[in-house]
Structure 1
Amino acid sequence: MALFVRYVGGAVGTVLGGNLAGRWDRVTVVRRSYLVSVVAVAGIVYVPGPAFYTRYRSAVVKLLRKCSASSAGLPGAAV
């Protein structure tokens, strides 16, 4: 699955980068894509992983149920 996502991301990035490089300067597009990739890697590093969700699973499930029920207007909002 990870390789599939990687290859799809590469294909999408190539098409998007090519279109953006056609519109703006190629060096500008590369520099901005480096900045976006640094932010993306930092997000992966600092987002809590499975250990956080395993520990607080019941609270997260209750919160998700409450949010989905309240947004749908269902009577089960007070879980």
Structure 2
Amino acid sequence: MRDLPDDDQWLPERLRAIGARFREERLRQNATQDQVWMAARVTRWTYQRVESGQDCNLSTLLRIAWVLDVSLEELDE
């Protein structure tokens, strides 16, 4: 186990990386944002926030990962 850094500067970078990973996979599958957010049963606004690297909840990440067939481990690569 490791300690958290003194500040949260690392969080936005990780969130952007996760959003980029979803975007890359969506594009690789030739899917639109509309197709993904509707299949994941989240709002368009929520999906756009995820792809842009903004904070979201775990259930949202799990839904999108399921739809795109991406494991959570792959999101942190």
Name the TM-score, length of structure 2 as normaliser: 0.33
Higher helix proportion (structure 1 or 2): 1
Quick check: which has more Rg, 1 or 2? 1
Q: Which of 1 and 2 has higher RCO (CA within 8 Å, sep 6+)? A: 2
